[in-house]
Structure 1
Amino acid sequence: MTRLEAIFKANLDLLAQAGITFNQWRHEPILDFATDEKIAKQLDWIGTHSKSLFLKLKNGDFVLYLTEKDKRLDSKQLKALLGKRPSICSDEEMIEQLGCVPGAVCPFGLPPHIIMVVDRTLFKHQELLYTPGDPEYTFGITGQDLDRLLSLLPNTIHTL
């Protein structure tokens, strides 16, 4: 089993463990926002597209920031929350730490040492769309189910 297959399976298992019903779509690989928007139009998605930014703190810790696709990274807010200045990780570091493909970072099933910061606005959306590792798939869960999903993760989780 490849790392991407393992991430995909871990997401299916996590959703089943949480008892969360979800939507699933298979499509051409989404590795950038232009393709994401094209596929969204083709498949008539109405959910909120999420964005997972993989960051590194000055002390060497890794952080995944889960937010809305169009939201910009506010480094000052993250520094205030985490105590250290974040910077975007290189593709190489992200692949080594997560096993994801650049442009398709999965927010769930991360190694336990990865800190998560979740944008609190995500909890309010009717449907959140995310990649489950394999860029040929998109999953959709409700914002209300996000809290239940996060509660099953071994990671340290903050909201912002």
Structure 2
Amino acid sequence: MSVESVKTYFKQWNREMDIMEFETSSATVDQAAETIGVIPARIAKTLSFRGNEEKAILIVAAGDAKVDNKKFRQKFGFKPRMLTPDEVLEQTGHAIGGVCPFGLKNEIDVFLDISMQRFETLFPACGSTNSAIELSKDEILQYSSAVEWVDVCKGWEDEALLKDSQQLEV
């Protein structure tokens, strides 16, 4: 089971006991947010794309962010094409709904989107459709062995600005 590979992976930092497993599904951003009791934006979702030479790449982004095709193409030099569920499982060892940048089956380049930088902690999945761990953005960077922070998403800035303006009105 994939959550077991993530627990094994986190043993090197003595963090395997910090993985939360739930009775309810946390497979989607909204389900995870409801299960954990946080806003959807604090769910760190892992998106799987076809890279160059049949190698996958992973983008970890805030739950309210969407990949911006133009930004992605400018950064990576190719059009973003998501992997099929079978390809995701083959490449990462994790099924859709539990994909994370930890305990991966293959060596895959991981990139972290700046949409996550506005939060002190986020909740990425841990290899199953009912698991998560609370990590700081620095811990996500460390534990995922990410290549770098990137700016390839959209939508979250508008939401952040809207929340800021609503707070000013209160």
Q: Into which bin does the TM-score normalised by the smaller protein fall?
A: 0.7 to 0.9
Which amino acid counterpart does residue 63 of structure 2 have in structure 1? K
How far 1:78 sits from its partner (Å)? 1.9
Structure 2 match to 1:68:
62
Whether the 8 Å contact between 2:60 and 2:111 is mirrored in structure 1 is yes
- Report deviation, 1:86: 2.0
Larger Rg: 2
Return the structure number with greater relative CO, CA threshold 8 A, min gap 6: 1
Percent of aligned pairs with the same residue? 17
Gaps of 5+ in 1: none
Tell me what 2:138 maps to: 144
Question: Are the aligned partners of 1:8 and 1:134 in contact in 2 as well (CA < 8 Å)?
Answer: no
Q: Distance in 2 between matches of 1:103 and 1:133?
A: 8
Q: Does residue 1:36 correspond to 2:26, yes or no? A: no
Question: Counterpart in 2 of 1:8?
Answer: 7
Question: Residues 48 and 29 (structure 1 numbering): CA distance in 2 closer, same or farther, change over 3 Å?
Answer: same
Equivalent residue for 1:132, pick from 115, 119, 126? 126
TM normalised by structure 1 equals 0.76
The answer for the alignment partner of 1:110 in structure 2 is: 104
More helix by share: 2
Q: Does 1:158 align with 2:148?
A: yes
The runs of 4+ residues in structure 1 deviating greater than 3 Å are 20-24, 44-47
Q: Which amino acid aligns with 2:25?
A: P
Over aligned residue pairs, what C-alpha RMSD do you find?
Answer: 2.7
Structure 2 length normalisation: TM-score?
0.73
Matched, 1:51 2:50: no
Instruction: Please state how far the C-alpha of 1:64 moved relative to its aligned partner.
Output: 0.3
The 8 Å contact of residues 57 and 85 in structure 1, kept in 2 or not, is answered as no
Corresponding residue for residue 82 of structure 2 = 88
In 2, are the aligned partners of 1:128 and 1:143 still within 8 Å (CA)?
A: yes
Task: Measure how far apart 1:149 and its partner are.
Answer: 2.7
Q: What are the ranges of 5 or more consecutive residues in structure 2 without an aligned counterpart?
A: 151-170
Structure 1's 90 and 52: CA in aligned 2 closer, same or farther, altered over 3 A? same
